[in-house]
Each structure stands twice: as C-alpha cells, then as structure tokens.
Structure 1
Amino acid sequence: MRFMIMVKATKDTEAGKFPENAEKLFEAMGAYHDELVKAGVLLDASGLQPSSAGWKVKYSGDKRTVVDGPFTEAKEMIAGYTLIQTKTREEALEWTRRFPKPHFDHECEIEVRQLYELEDFATIDAAKDAIGKFREMEAGLKK
C-alpha cells in the first residue's frame, strides 16, 4: 500500500521564503526521513517550488491551455510530499503521526492519501488492456 503525505503550502512557502527556524525544520525532517529509510518504507520525498515556478494545463474539449503560476489560495497548494509504502493502513497512520510539524510557527496540517494500485482497477473491463501495459512499463523501470 502506497501513501502520499502532503505538506500544505502557506503564504511564505508560496513566496519562496524559508522559515527562520529552517535549520531546525530540516533537521527534524532529515531525522524522520532517515527513520523511514531504515524501516524500508520511504519511496520518495521532496519539497516543491512555489506555484509561481509552475503551470497548469486546462482542458476544454480537445483544447489545452497552459496557465502560468502563481496560483491563488495557498492553503489549497502543496509545498512538499513524502511517499511511503507500508503493509497496512494502520502502519501508514503510525508513520504519519510521527511526521514533524512542517510549520513550527503556526497551526498547520498534513494530508495523507492512499495511491491506487493496478489491482484496484482489475474489475473494470475497459482497463484490463491498459493494466497489462502499465505492468510491462513497471517491469521495464525495475530493470
């Protein structure tokens, strides 16, 4: 089971500003992620640059429109993530309870979402061919 732990953005992270206590935060995050590595559950982790460095692609019928950042509503944005793989939801929940507070100077929250696995789509007839192709791609990535 894979889970994504998402750190919500703030006005400061969207402005590209690191907190005054950045050293303490990086130390706590480093220690936590080191524990994840030692437990063999860490798949990936990274901070995201502000939305001003990104873009969105809007779809309207067959038309695609690129919209450059920044985007409004920092509270809806993600500043970083950690991707873990555990045997159970309960194990993932325990790891997320230990996640360091990402913004020391004010209230904040992290969001955790389970990723779909290919097996989750196995009962959908229209997805069977695509599932086989994705399995081939996964096998190729592991080589």
Structure 2
Amino acid sequence: MRVMVLVKATEDSEKGFFPTPETNEMMEAMGRFNDELRSAGILLDADGLKPSSLGKRVAFDGPGRTVIDGPFAETRELVAGFWLWDVKDMDEAVAWVKRCPNPMPGPSEIEIRPLYEMADLQ
C-alpha cells in the first residue's frame, strides 16, 4: 500500500527556511529518520516545499484557466513537505509517523493519505 505522508505547513514554514542551530538540529534528526525509512524499505520519495508565496495555483472553470499567485490563505491547509511510502497498511504508516521527529519548531501535524492503486480503479 502506497501512502503520501503530508507535513502540514505552519506560520514558521511559510516564512521560509533559515539555518539556525535549532533548524539544523531538526534537519539532522529528520535525516536520521529518513535513513531508518530507507533501511526499512519504506521510503519511495521525500522532499520539502518552499513557502506558498513562491507558488502558483491554476483554477479551472470549464475551458477557462486562471493563475493565482501565492501566498495562499489558511496556512494550516497547506503542505510544507511530503514522503511517499510503501507500507503494509495504514497501521504501519501511523506507527512510522509516531516515530517521526517533530518536523516543525512548534506544534505541527502530519497527514497520511492512501494513494489509489490500479486494483481500486477496476
């Protein structure tokens, strides 16, 4: 079962990444966690996203397309980073997320979403 594990954005992550002793320590802890995921054969891909102020959205309405420049409202609904994992089931994904170091300096959330597989679409 493949899942996308979404690190939700915070006000801090929307300000951008600035190396400090605290962020460097956090990145080292996350690097060790990613190494564990790799060793367990779970990690397929992972990365962090730049703030939404550097992003764009494209809104679709029939044949029309409208480009919307960031930043986007509702920071708590944005994504700051992701992993793509191949796990046995959702329980295994939850167990791994519980082992994850806090990805942000303050309170944060991680969302786990299963991907559609070909068998789901038949």
TM value normalised by structure 2: 0.92
- 1:10 aligns to 2:19 (yes or no): no
Task: Deviation per CA, 1:74-130: give whole Å up to 9, x if none.
Answer: 1111100111101222222211111111123x22211111111111010xxxxxxxx
In the alignment of these two chains, the number of paired residues is 121
Is the helix fraction higher in 1 or 2? 1
Structure 1 unmatched runs, 5+: 123-143
Quick one: distance in 2 between partners of 1:97 and 1:19? 25
> What is the one-letter code of the residue matched to 2:109?
E
Structure 2 unmatched runs, 5+: none
Is the strand fraction higher in 1 or 2? 2
TM value normalised by structure 1: 0.79
CA RMSD of aligned residues (A): 1.4
SS in 2 for 1:24: helix
> In the superposition, relative to structure 1, how do residues 51 and 93 fare at CA in structure 2: closer, same or farther (>3 Å)?
same
* Higher RCO, Cα 8 Å, sep 6+: 2
> What is the one-letter code of the residue matched to 2:67?
V
| 1:19, distance to aligned residue in structure 2 (A) | 7.0
* Structure having the higher Rg: 1
SS in 1 for 2:44: strand
SS in 1 for 2:67: strand
